[in-house]
A = this chain, B = another copy of it.
Amino acid sequence: MQSRTPASRTGRPRSVAADTAILAATRAALVELGWSKLTLGDVATRAGVAKTTLYRRWAGKNELVVDAVAELFDELRLPDRGSLAADIEGVVLQFAAILARPEAKSGLMAVVAESTRDEALRERIRTSIVDRQKRLVLEGRSRAQARGELPPETDPAESARTVDLIFDMVAGAVVHRTLVSAEPADEDWVRSFTRVLLLGLTPSS
C-alpha cells in the first residue's frame, strides 16, 4: 500500500510480516493512547520492529495512520435488505459502527485535520478511504434502479454531483453526530436520517 514496487532485485527482501504487525500495532496504540500521544517509537516497539524499518516504509505518522485506518473501512458491505431505504440504513449503521471504534475516531479526524495543510495527504486519504467507499453509493443506486425504485440517470455529470452530495451528507452527518455531538448513531437516529435523506432525494415518493 505504501510501497510502489521499489523493484529492488538484490539484498535481503523486506519482511512481509512487518507491515501487518506495524499496522496492527498502530491501531492498538490509537486505541490506548489516541492520535496525539501515539509515537512512532512506541509503535515500533509494539510491532517488535526497529524504528528504521518503520521509516523505510512510511514517511511519517500521518501516512502510517491513514493506512492503518483505511483497513478498517474495507469491511463495509452493502447488504441486500430488499429496499433502498433498508439498504441505506444498513450501510449507514455499519459506517457508524466503525466510526464508534476508538481507533477510527481518534485517527480519522486527526489526519483529516492535518490534510488541510498537506495536499498529498489529502490525496492519500481520498484514494485510500473516501473514493474507495463511493462504490457503495453507486452499487446501492444501481440496485435500486434494478428494483425500479429509482429512474435510470440521464445526465452523467449531474449524476456524479449527486453521488458526491449524497456522500458528503451521509458521511458528514454520521461523523458530526458521532464526534461532535458525541451521541450514538443508533438505529433510531439512522432511521430518521435516512428518511429525511430519501425524501429529499426522491420528492415524488
Interface residues of A (CB under 8 A from B): 34-36, 102, 105-106, 108-110, 112-117, 122, 125-126, 130, 161, 164-165, 167-169, 171-177, 179-183, 189, 192-193, 195-201, 203
Contact = CB atoms under 8 A, between A and B. Distances in A.
B203 A36 contact: no
Residue from A35, A110, A172, A182 having most chain B Cβ neighbours under 10 A: A172
B183 A177 contact: no
A78 to B, nearest CB: 20
A146 to B, nearest CB: 23
Contacts of A174: 172
B112 A116 contact: no
Given A110-B110, A164-B183, A175-B175, 6 more contacts: A109-B113, A165-B193, A168-B176, A169-B173, A172-B177, A172-B180
Given A105-B116, A109-B109, A197-B196, A181 B169 contact: no
18 contacts: A108-B113, A109-B112, A109-B113, A112-B113, A113-B113, A113-B179, A126-B182, A130-B180, A164-B181, A164-B183, A167-B181, A168-B176, A168-B177, A169-B193, A171-B172, A172-B173, A175-B175, A199-B201
A105 B105 CA distance: 18
A125 B164 contact: no
A165 B167 CA distance: 17
A161 B165 CA distance: 23
A179 B116 contact: yes
Contacts of A189: 165
A173 B170 CA distance: 8
A116 B106 contact: yes
Contacts of A177: 168, 172
A167 B183 CA distance: 13
